[in-house]
């Protein structure tokens, strides 16, 4: 099966896909950024469910229902905090994308939307992070048929485009 990649500018909580990915923290109990937005949109049942999971390690991913979201599933992954790049950050970030696709395959999700994991509060340089995102998704065997990279601001769109040199909303 061929994997279709898309780039859109917007709020991931509004994406009409089978699963959206959350850039979470170890506790899985919510936070700021995209994590806060997803918890607000999913409703309080999400944090209640997450309390039963016992957290998540950096580079790993765990799946929950989407509750009030359009997306049926939320895949929570914990990206690395940027400490200069010499502390395993690239490998851990790549692992977030691989593990998220593995969780999507387990529930037979066909369409998955990713935020730019680690590039906000966790400080990962945006161009390096978007390069890893695209390379890892392209090289990971999966039954997912469409991956949508959701950029929340123009700087993030530009970072994806600097790698791909293609327009928003077109095939990558």
CA-based nearest residue to 82, from 119, 47, 115, 43: 119
Choice from 19, 25, 130, 157 touching ligand AR6 (CB under 6 A) = 25
Of the two residues 135 and 143, which places its CB atom closer to ligand AR6 in the complex? Answer: 135
Assess 12 for contact with ligand AR6 (CB under 6 A). yes
| Residues in region 32-91 near ligand AR6 by CB under 6 A | 32-35, 37, 79
Residues 6+ apart with CB under 8 A from 37: 11, 12, 13
Assess 122 for contact with ligand AR6 (CB under 6 A). yes
Active-site residue flag, 171: no
Total of chain residues touching ligand AR6, rule CB under 6 A: 25
Q: Among the candidate windows 56-64, 97-105, 114-122, 159-167, which touches ligand AR6 by CB under 6 A?
A: 114-122
Task: Give me the sheet containing 4-9, strands edge to edge.
Answer: 4-9, 146-151, 111-114, 19-23, 73-77, 61-65
Choice from 114, 149, 152, 160 touching ligand AR6 (CB under 6 A) = 152
Question: Considering 11, 16, 35, 105, which one is annotated as catalytic?
Answer: 35
**Which token pair is 122?**
């966790």
3-state secondary structure of 67: coil
Residue located via tokens 């490998």: 91
**Alpha helix ranges (H) inside the chain:** 33-42, 44-51, 89-106, 126-139, 154-164
Choice from 7, 23, 46, 134 touching ligand AR6 (CB under 6 A) = 23
Assess 119 for contact with ligand AR6 (CB under 6 A). yes
- 150 within 8 A of 119, measured Cβ to Cβ: no
Q: What does the binding site for ligand AR6 look like in residue numbers (CB under 6 A)?
A: 11-13, 23-25, 31-35, 37, 79, 115-122, 150, 152-153, 156
Catalytic residue positions, numbered:
35
């Amino acid at each position: 099966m061929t994997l279709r990649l898309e780039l859109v500018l917007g709020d991931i909580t509004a994406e009409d896909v089978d699963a959206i990915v959350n850039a979470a923290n170890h506790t899985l109990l919510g936070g700021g950024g995209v994590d806060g937005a997803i918890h607000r949109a999913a409703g309080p049942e999400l944090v209640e469910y997450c309390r039963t999971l016992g957290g998540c390690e950096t580079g790993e991913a765990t799946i929950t229902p989407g509750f009030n979201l359009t997306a049926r599933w939320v895949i929570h992954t914990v990206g690395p905090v940027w400490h200069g790049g010499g502390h395993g950050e690239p490998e851990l970030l790549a692992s977030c994308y691989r593990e998220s696709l593995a969780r999507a395959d387990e529930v037979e999700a066909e369409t998955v939307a990713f935020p730019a994991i680690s590039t906000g509060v966790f400080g990962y340089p945006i161009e390096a992070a978007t390069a890893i995102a695209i390379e890892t998704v392209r090289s990971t065997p999966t039954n997912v048929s469409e991956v949508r990279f959701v950029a929340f601001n123009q700087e993030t769109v530009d970072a994806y485009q600097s790698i791909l040199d293609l327009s928003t909303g077109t095939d990558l």
